[in-house]
A and B are shown apart, each in its own frame.
Chain A
């Protein structure tokens, strides 16, 4: 069985008027199927309101499916007795780095998760040390998280999840509020965790450059899963992406425009080196 299996998931937000009558229904997630295996680096793309954050919250038993099922590590998330196992298996990092810090010292914050899990103090310290080293924040362990930069805070938040030894980390637009440097640091960190600690990464974003190295990309629009495939497969469909108001990486865009001007370049070029190589071949 795969680490995460989502089958025909439906989730609706029901708006009610003052008397409690149903006023309108917004289908946030509409019959979504998802299979993610252990160790994958998966990206979920989508415009605002495409349902990608709602989907993410299902993987961590924060929301429960209205219809369909979500299995995390073989456990049904809608079963109340699985809730803590599910939350420990898939950790979640949110968008705003300020709103997920609980401790007043970096160490304390990273230790919050393991404390909740009832782990012995000595082991908590081992885990805190390990996970702070994994995200490259060990030398800041005694500082106040409030005094760190956005990218550093976000890496502390990631360390807080890593300390819970999850199999999977779901990151819900972790770089949306960061400057370019913080963005690069966070992305480098999650790639490293994926590679070295073989933690499954589910990265939710609308920054296309971050997606290029993913194993698999899912694209969501209006609650539906509209595309899936490797980054190359996805980004070769420039027109379809533009239709649902999504961009492609700059290099891909450049290749696409050149192609339109009559330069015979292959579709779905992802990196600068690749483009250079293809252009040289044409000369």
Chain B
């Protein structure tokens, strides 16, 4: 069940999106996030959702695979949904005990859910189609101007990409540790919340220990492969914009314009 976490994972399907310059995809994700929050009317939802469906289709990543990533944040979504549902004042639809659900509440919740799902799917399209290394390269290039302020751009980008690529390994490890503790009688399904939290301690401690050990091993491996930070380092895939990247930028701008216009209606 834990193995289902797919958020932030590369899915090689060789689509046109995979071949785009990673900078386009980072900017694209950013533009998409912005576009989700600049409109008011219903038409905006149609535009953003349509664009999302278009992206999912050309990414050639199976939709069922993408949905798996949503499962992990479902608790968070339900929680925010409930708060919105009950806390929005307005024309009451029905009342349970002291809690009232208003018409506005339903509307706000529905909007929020659509936005959240679009936000997560939109950004995960970027991570599905971009390897962590490409992502690092892109961020490094996009944030290069910050270097003037002695901001360690390369180092932070490197850390991000390593963190991303270690997610599946740590997830697997977590699964093994949980099974091992279950075999020793740990109860992760207890109804009482405090019991469940307590049961997690013997899982988290070994997980952290192993993560540190792995980090140490990886640092050694990087050292012995002559890693010495960003200076003097070359790239296998130097970032160069091609015609298709320019096209992608134009499509993105066009999309943003459409959302702005439709959002006003």
A residues contacting B by CB (< 8 A) are 57, 60, 62, 84, 87-88, 91-92, 94, 96, 98-105, 107-108, 111-121, 124-125, 128, 142-144, 146, 157, 160-161, 164
Q: What is the chain A residue whose CB lies nearest that of B14?
A: A142
CB within 8 Å of A: which of B226-253?
226-228, 232-238
B3 to chain A, nearest CB (A): 12
Determine the chain A residues whose CB is within 8 A of the CB of B238 once the complex forms. 121
Query: Do residues A115 and B223 form an inter-chain contact, with CB atoms below 8 A?
Result: no
A47 to B165, CA, bound (A): 34
Q: A94-B217, A100-B218, A103-B133 are in contact. Are A112 and B225 (CB under 8 A)?
A: yes
Q: Which of A101, A107, A120 contacts B234 (CB 8 A)?
A: A120
Determine the chain B residues whose CB is within 8 A of the CB of A164 once the complex forms. 225-226
Q: Kindly supply a per-residue 1/0 record for chain B positions 122-165, scoring 1 wherever the CB is within 8 Å of any chain A CB and 0 otherwise.
A: 00000000011100000000000000000000000000011001
Q: What is the chain B residue whose CB lies nearest that of A98?
A: B169
A195 to B226, CA, bound (A): 26
B residues contacting A by CB (< 8 A) are 10, 12, 131-133, 161-162, 165, 168-169, 213-214, 217-218, 220-228, 232-238
A103 to chain B, nearest CB (A): 6
Q: What is the chain A residue whose CB lies nearest that of B237?
A: A121
Query: Do residues A96 and B223 form an inter-chain contact, with CB atoms below 8 A?
Result: no
Q: Which of B131, B217, B232, B237 contacts A100 (CB 8 A)?
A: B217
Q: What is the chain A residue whose CB lies nearest that of B164?
A: A104
Q: What is the chain A residue whose CB lies nearest that of B223?
A: A62
Query: Do residues A115 and B235 form an inter-chain contact, with CB atoms below 8 A?
Result: yes
Q: Which of B10, B165, B225 contacts A161 (CB 8 A)?
A: B225
Determine the chain A residues whose CB is within 8 A of the CB of B162 once the complex forms. 102
Q: Which of B10, B168, B169, B226 contacts A116 (CB 8 A)?
A: B226
Query: Do residues B225 and A91 form an inter-chain contact, with CB atoms below 8 A?
Result: yes
Query: Do residues A84 and B225 form an inter-chain contact, with CB atoms below 8 A?
Result: no
Determine the chain B residues whose CB is within 8 A of the CB of A108 once the complex forms. 131, 133, 236
Query: Do residues B236 and A128 form an inter-chain contact, with CB atoms below 8 A?
Result: yes
A–B Cβ pairs within 8 angstroms, 24 of them: A60-B224, A87-B224, A91-B224, A92-B221, A98-B214, A99-B213, A99-B214, A102-B165, A102-B222, A102-B225, A103-B133, A104-B10, A104-B131, A104-B133, A104-B165, A105-B12, A108-B236, A114-B236, A116-B227, A118-B232, A118-B234, A121-B237, A128-B236, A143-B12
Q: What is the chain B residue whose CB lies nearest that of A163?
A: B225
A228 to chain B, nearest CB (A): 25
Determine the chain B residues whose CB is within 8 A of the CB of A105 once the complex forms. 10, 12, 131, 133
Q: What is the chain A residue whose CB lies nearest that of B231?
A: A118
Determine the chain B residues whose CB is within 8 A of the CB of A142 once the complex forms. 12
A118 to B228, CA, bound (A): 11
Query: Do residues A146 and B169 form an inter-chain contact, with CB atoms below 8 A?
Result: yes
A124 to chain B, nearest CB (A): 5
Q: Which of A102, A118, A146 contacts B233 (CB 8 A)?
A: A118
A117 to B238, CA, bound (A): 15
Query: Do residues A94 and B225 form an inter-chain contact, with CB atoms below 8 A?
Result: no
Q: A96-B217, A102-B162 are in contact. Are A84 and B226 (CB under 8 A)?
A: yes
Q: What is the chain A residue whose CB lies nearest that of B217?
A: A99
Q: What is the chain A residue whose CB lies nearest that of B218?
A: A99
Query: Do residues B224 and A116 form an inter-chain contact, with CB atoms below 8 A?
Result: no
B165 to chain A, nearest CB (A): 5
Query: Do residues B12 and A144 form an inter-chain contact, with CB atoms below 8 A?
Result: yes
Q: A99-B214, A99-B218, A105-B12 are in contact. Are A111 and B236 (CB under 8 A)?
A: yes
A113 to B222, CA, bound (A): 8
A149 to chain B, nearest CB (A): 15
Q: Which of A102, A104, A124 contacts B221 (CB 8 A)?
A: A102
A125 to B238, CA, bound (A): 12
Q: A62-B223, A164-B226 are in contact. Are A115 and B234 (CB under 8 A)?
A: yes
B173 to chain A, nearest CB (A): 9
Cβ-closest 8 pairs across A and B: A99-B217, A100-B221, A92-B224, A113-B225, A111-B236, A116-B226, A104-B131, A118-B232
A215 to B133, CA, bound (A): 40
Q: What is the chain A residue whose CB lies nearest that of B215?
A: A99
A145 to chain B, nearest CB (A): 9
Name, among A57, A98, A102, the residue most crowded by chain B CB atoms within 10 Å (CB to CB).
Answer: A102
Query: Do residues A102 and B218 form an inter-chain contact, with CB atoms below 8 A?
Result: yes
Q: A118-B234, A124-B234 are in contact. Are A94 and B133 (CB under 8 A)?
A: no
Q: What is the chain B residue whose CB lies nearest that of A88?
A: B226
A254 to B238, CA, bound (A): 58
B190 to chain A, nearest CB (A): 32
Q: Which of B217, B225, B228, B236 contacts A160 (CB 8 A)?
A: B225
A98 to B168, CA, bound (A): 11
A114 to B236, CA, bound (A): 9
